[in-house]
Structure 1
């Protein structure tokens, strides 16, 4: 499919189409929407470049619907016990090594992963750290004979993202690339980010038309407040503080959290949305983005020419992403409520906003592309499998040297391990029984 040109869209053209119907597998995870959103954008651009793309959800590769249970547990931790989630994230970040429960969970997905990839794929790309751990193990053992790549969806890199055996780690910016390299990641490439094509900078007439479509006013600056697809974090407090600052009017997106939307409407907020199907259009209507997780929505704002502020960030990856985005000069991290008004004023009409807007758009005009990196490994010169295997084995041995991995937060294993903290042997035994039952 072709991508319609949009004013201000400076992203590089798609790479040269490979000869023949090459196939790439993408493995994501339905934990929030960020991992799937990155996979969607990668898949669309790979198809535009001439590939056939297969998509799989890592949660579905775990036995007995265990992946959905873990995702739900993670969600409940974020909403009901954020301080506990922060302790888990910090502990696993320090330890730098997965425990036996996590290793059992990953092993339980290996055969299903191999079956999902199939014999026709030329490469497999992960947008989720748990999937990367499984793919790395399969590469190290020689059971996966095609390149495996990790696309780092976050600007901060937790050790679980770095899997020994992965052939290349693709980073949106030098800051996450440096973090991945420090953790021992193999072949880290700065490829720039990936987003859907409709996220692009627009003209002022486009902005007013978008406001009309959403019934938004023309006479005040609009601050788009987002909290991920789950609508987690102190969103009501953030919305009230933006409104009371007098700097702009909050436009709040609650994702699938209908209870939050009802609370905000009861609080008197006029512009409250639940799940928004046309986020590119809503971003065109607004003047600044205020976010609390630092994931895909921030990247979409960069592509849309919106300055970004991180505020009242959720524990774990929300705070580490805020620090990384601040270090990169891409998003101001507002650490104290007293700084909210001045920072938003600078982003809306001052040099801070201009610098951040330019830095965000520059991510898409560097000439690098995740699709180009994937194409390079997915369209190799054909050589017989028998001749290829010894070289791959030697390379896997080299890549396996001491990269760190951890049981963490982004949705798999750490929440369940925390739930069984008082009796860790119970979960380990249950995991091994699952493996034996399903012949994994």
Structure 2
């Protein structure tokens, strides 16, 4: 199995047991290209989860992972779009939400959509002619549009699959010549069907996540490892890679006097980490963390999570049956993700500091509420999303049932 990465950083992976890894001796090698992007960490994480599953579950597959914008558009374009995305969601979230809604119903044959589809298309075509692929899996909508146009024009004959990394649908994900859609919820499936995608081209698998979130981390062992005091509820705060400092500070002031063991995960945002460390100085039950590789253990040890509503983070929390408090999500897909979670009962939402305080008090003092939310998460979680999605795509290429 050849596993080739360009730009994305591989996350740790626990291999399948020998008995669970099927043998494909004698089968021809299958070439798979995964196209993602390096901003909005959910796209990258889903691509990593899929590539790592194939590395251990399909020994005769060669998988290559690219950041589509860096490899096929231009590295400067990739950096510019990443900067624009981060700054817009950090400084001007209503503007980001406005453009999200503005593009929500663009027809596939419109000039605007054709312009978007053209980004990187010729470079991608040259690559596929030099390196033919059996399957191209898109974990971002832009390459899916380019591939759909190439298939329409008869310029490629590989299978094309799209992995939708939100729990709601948007027109940017919908392209008529995509062979298979892997989606996170029945809501997305119904949205695709309403927009003309045939049901047999859609599989509800869940959003791919790495296996560590599905392996049953022991709650008591995790609490002991993280030194969570038995009498206190554990609260995990994940505010996103875009460095939502104002939101994090709101959360701190809303919870500072409550009897909790609190874990702030700041990721790569050193400024946010420094601000929170200054605020929490002298409070031993408040833990400010940077980039961590033990999120499954943190989720297992905590009673609920305060977060935005990014598709991958909430899929990981659902897999762990972790109740969620969604605070001021980014307008657009995160608003829709929040609405889905609240509708199914796995989350509560806070629009402002007053509601945030009320929700925190309720979650910290009402075990029955948390129990109901855990049951709701259990009902909709899809812990085997990565395997189900990877097997469905493999079946598309190999011509067998997944």
TM-score category (smaller protein): 0.7 to 0.9
Q: Please, which moves more after superposition, 266-275 or 251-260?
A: 266-275
Question: Number of residue pairs matched?
Answer: 369
Query: Which aligned pairs between 1:22-421 and structure 2 lie closer than 5 A?
Result: 22-50=30-58, 51-60=61-70, 61-63=72-74, 65-93=76-104, 100=111, 103-117=114-128, 118-186=130-198, 187-200=201-214, 201-212=216-227, 216-232=228-244, 234-244=247-257, 246=258, 248-268=260-280, 270-335=286-351, 336-337=355-356, 338-343=358-363, 345-346=365-366, 350-359=370-379, 362-364=381-383, 369-380=388-399
Q: State the SS of the aligned residue for 1:185.
A: coil
Q: What's the Cα RMSD here?
A: 2.9
Q: State the SS of the aligned residue for 1:125.
A: strand
Distance 2:327 2:305 in 1: 10
Distance 1:74 1:31 in 2: 8
Task: Provide the TM-score with structure 2 as the length reference.
Answer: 0.82
Q: Please, which moves more after superposition, 106-115 or 34-43?
A: 106-115
Distance 1:165 1:39 in 2: 21
Change (3 A) 1:258 1:271: same
Higher relative contact order (CA 8 A, sep 6+): 1
Task: Provide the TM-score with structure 1 as the length reference.
Answer: 0.75
Change (3 A) 1:355 1:115: same
Q: State the SS of the aligned residue for 1:181.
A: helix
- Provide structure 1 residue ranges, at least 5 long, that are not aligned to the other structure: 6-12, 382-440
Distance 2:386 2:294 in 1: 27
Q: Please, which moves more after superposition, 111-120 or 317-326?
A: 111-120
Q: State the SS of the aligned residue for 1:252.
A: strand
Alignment deviations for residues 209-230 of structure 1 (CA, whole Å, 9 cap, x no partner): 4314xxx544421111112222
Residue 219 of structure 2 contacts residue 300 of structure 2 at CA under 8 Å; is this kept in 1? no
Q: State the SS of the aligned residue for 2:349.
A: strand
Residue 235 of structure 2 contacts residue 304 of structure 2 at CA under 8 Å; is this kept in 1? yes
